[in-house]
């Protein structure tokens, strides 16, 4: 049996392992918390630091193939492992481009992939001389996550809120829709595109609020975003699974926001709503099987279950029975013991034929199901 390692043991690793149960594969996970969501679903768990060269190298030496569930892994170790025969999804050079927002934006520019105009800033002093660029969005180059490394700079007064570290200052786009498209690439360079997902954001928490798939788009826009997503993954020259996040403005222009070189939140619904889920697809890719069918079976919505405001400690899922009674709702609890405000604790996928029903049911789930503390 092929041995496959996953760097990171959060909910993405957990869902990847759930899909692994269908295949002849021996699974390994490394994460620094032995109580993480994926720890109990793999064959072999290793406590270790995914950012540490030696930990990643030692872990990778045991397996035939390696993947990631988060970008912040040590890519130098991945490079060395690959040179010694371990297959890595995604390859280290692709990860290196993506990990740093400055090099990621430069990659789009150099490959003529549409993206919002930008300048790199090294410090707050650098930012101060960019008044002409406002309104803009300041994004920290390394380590930003879930909107935490993003600051809107609407006026000169906002400049002081920027990052005093290497960052990207990007022109503000008047966003009509935020779209994600998941693309799989296998070792032979064959690709499979999932239907686009319409992402709707929570203004306060700046975290994904709910999303609907397939996104309603004119054919012309769909073709445009498919061509752009393909150009992104071809340019990255790596097998694996990628989520290309894009903005569409009021004029129908498309801009790539960012790319994740891994299974992604915007693809959770593919477990129930598409013939081959993003997790199934990654196993097919890593194990050398044919790519799966990305078509949707039913339109879907995803509601994220985030820790409720004011609740810290052992998690309790209020309203769970009511949602479990809904016959087209699929509950995923990630198995994190502790909740805190805004923490991703699970998600619910809803299937329905019409967009109206999906949005209605998504709001109902949001109202009914709350992650509180004991
Ligand atoms: P993260 O990787 O932390 O999720 P993003 O780069 O996706 O950060 O930005 C978070 C959110 O900020 C986006 O989903 C979008 O709503 C908003 N945003 C980011 N870049 C721009 C931009 N150039 N113009 C307008 N809004 C933006």
Nearest atom of ligand 1 to the alpha carbon of 199? 14
Residue 347's nearest CA partner among 271, 258, 292, 279 is: 271
Q: Is the CB of 141 under 6 A from ligand 1?
A: no
- H, E, C per residue of the chain: CEEEEEECCCHHHHHHHHHHCCCCEEEEEEECCCCCCCCCCCCEEEECCCCCHHHHHHHHCCCCEEEECCCCCCHHHHHHHHHCCCEEECCHHHHHHHHCHHHHHHHHHHCCCCCCCEEEECCHHHHHCCHHHCCEEEEECCCCCCCCCEEEECCHHHHHHCCCCCEEEEECCCEEEEEEEEEEECCCCCEEECCCEEEEECCCCCCEEEEEECCCCCHHHHHHHHHHHHHHHHHHCCCEEEEEEEEEECCCCEEEEEEECCCCHHHCCHHHHECCCHHHHHHHHHHCCCCCCCCECCCEEEEEEEECCCCCEEEEEECHHHHHHCCCEEEEECCCCEECCCCEEEEEEEECCCHHHHHHHHHHHHHHCEEEEC
Indicate the top mutation candidate among 257, 260, 265 to test ligand 1's pocket, ranked by most ligand atoms within 8 A of CB: 257
Q: Which CATH architecture has domain 117-171?
A: 2-Layer Sandwich (3.30)
What is the whole-number distance in angstroms between the Cα of residue 150 and the centre of ligand 1? Answer: 7
Residue 134 burial (10 A CB sphere; 0-12, 13-18, 19+): middle
Q: Is the CB of 70 under 6 A from ligand 1?
A: no
Task: Please name every residue paired with 65 in a beta bridge, in sequence order, or none if there are none.
Answer: 4, 87
Any idea where the domains of the chain sit in the sequence?
Answer: 2-89, 117-171, 175-373
Integer CA distances (angstroms), 135 to 63, 123, 169, 172, in order: 48, 18, 10, 6
Query: What's the confidence (pLDDT) of residue 76?
Result: 97
Query: What's the confidence (pLDDT) of residue 57?
Result: 98
Looking at ligand 1, which residue's alpha carbon is closest to its atom 13?
Answer: 147
Query: What's the confidence (pLDDT) of residue 206?
Result: 53
Query: What's the confidence (pLDDT) of residue 205?
Result: 53
Query: What's the confidence (pLDDT) of residue 210?
Result: 86
Same fold, 117-171 and 175-373: no
Q: How many CB atoms lie within 10 A of CB 173?
A: 19
| 89-119 residue pLDDT tens | 999 999 999 999 999 999 999 999 999 999 9
Looking at ligand 1, which residue's alpha carbon is closest to its atom 1?
Answer: 147
Query: What's the confidence (pLDDT) of residue 202?
Result: 60
Task: Please name every residue paired with 140 in a beta bridge, in sequence order, or none if there are none.
Answer: 167
| 27-79 residue pLDDT tens | 999 999 999 999 999 999 999 999 999 999 999 999 999 999 999 999 999 99
Length of the chain: 374
Query: What's the confidence (pLDDT) of residue 146?
Result: 73
Q: What is the CATH code of the structural domain delimited by 2-89?
A: 3.40.50.20
Geometric angle at alpha carbon 32, from 71 and 77, rounded to 5°? 50
Q: Is the CB of 243 under 6 A from ligand 1?
A: no
What is the whole-number distance in angstroms between the Cα of residue 335 and the centre of ligand 1? Answer: 28
* φ/ψ (deg, to 5) at 318: -75, 130
Residues of the chain whose pLDDT is less than 70?
202-208
Indicate the top mutation candidate among 137, 201, 264 to test ligand 1's pocket, ranked by most ligand atoms within 8 A of CB: 137
Looking at ligand 1, which residue's alpha carbon is closest to its atom 5?
Answer: 147
The answer to whether 38 touches 7, Cβ cutoff 8 Å, is no
Measured CA to CA, the distance from residue 293 to residue 272 in angstroms comes to 13
Looking at ligand 1, which residue's alpha carbon is closest to its atom 10?
Answer: 147
The answer to whether 350 touches 329, Cβ cutoff 8 Å, is yes
The answer to whether 34 touches 48, Cβ cutoff 8 Å, is no
What is the whole-number distance in angstroms between the Cα of residue 119 and the centre of ligand 1? Answer: 16
Q: Which residues contact 350 (CB under 8 A, 6 or more apart)?
A: 300, 301, 302, 303, 326, 328, 329, 330, 358, 361, 362, 365
Q: Is the CB of 280 under 6 A from ligand 1?
A: no
CATH classification for the domain delimited by 175-373, as one of 3.10.20.740, 3.40.640.10, 3.30.470.20, 3.30.300.30 = 3.30.470.20
Nearest atom of ligand 1 to the alpha carbon of 173? 24
């Amino acid at each position: 049996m092929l041995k496959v390692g996953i760097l990171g043991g959060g909910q993405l690793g957990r869902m990847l392992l759930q899909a692994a149960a269908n295949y002849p594969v021996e699974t390994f996970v490394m994460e620094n918390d032995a109580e993480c969501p994926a720890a109990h679903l793999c064959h072999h768990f290793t406590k270790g630091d995914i950012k540490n060269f030696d930990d990643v190298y030692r872990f990778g030496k045991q397996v035939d193939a390696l993947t990631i569930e988060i970008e912040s892994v040590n890519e130098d170790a991945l490079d060395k492992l690959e040179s010694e025969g371990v297959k890595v999804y995604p390859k280290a050079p692709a990860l290196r481009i993506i990990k740093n927002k400055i090099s990621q934006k430069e990659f789009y520019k150099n490959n003529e992939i549409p993206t919002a105009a930008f300048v790199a800033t090294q410090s707050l002093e650098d930012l101060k001389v960019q008044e002409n660029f406002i309104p803009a969005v300041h994004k920290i180059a390394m380590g930003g996550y879930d909107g935490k490394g993003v600051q809107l700079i609407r006026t000169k007064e906002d400049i002081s809120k920027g990052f005093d570290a290497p960052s990207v200052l990007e022109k503000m786009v008047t966003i009509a829709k935020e779209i994600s498209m998941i693309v799989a690439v296998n070792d032979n360079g064959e690709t499979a595109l999932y239907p686009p997902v319409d992402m709707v954001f929570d203004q306060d928490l700046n975290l994904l609020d709910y999303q609907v798939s397939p996104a309603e788009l004119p054919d012309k826009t769909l073709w445009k975003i498919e061509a752009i997503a393909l150009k992104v993954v071809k340019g990255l020259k790596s097998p694996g699974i990628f989520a290309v996040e894009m903005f569409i403005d009021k004029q129908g222009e498309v801009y790539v926001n960012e790319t994740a070189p891994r299974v992604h939140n915007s693809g959770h619904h593919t477990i129930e709503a598409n013939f081959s889920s993003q997790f199934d697809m990654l196993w097919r890719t890593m194990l050398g099987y044919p790519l799966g069918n990305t078509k949707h079976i039913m339109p879907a919505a995803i509601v994220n279950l985030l820790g409720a405001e004011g609740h810290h400690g052992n998690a309790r899922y209020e309203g769970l029975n009511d949602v479990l009674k809904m016959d087209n709702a699929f509950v995923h609890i990630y198995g994190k013991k502790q909740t805190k405000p805004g923490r991703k604790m699970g998600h619910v996928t809803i299937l329905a034929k019409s967009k109206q029903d999906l949005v209605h049911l998504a709001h109902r789930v949001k109202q009914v199901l709350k992650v509180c503390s004991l």
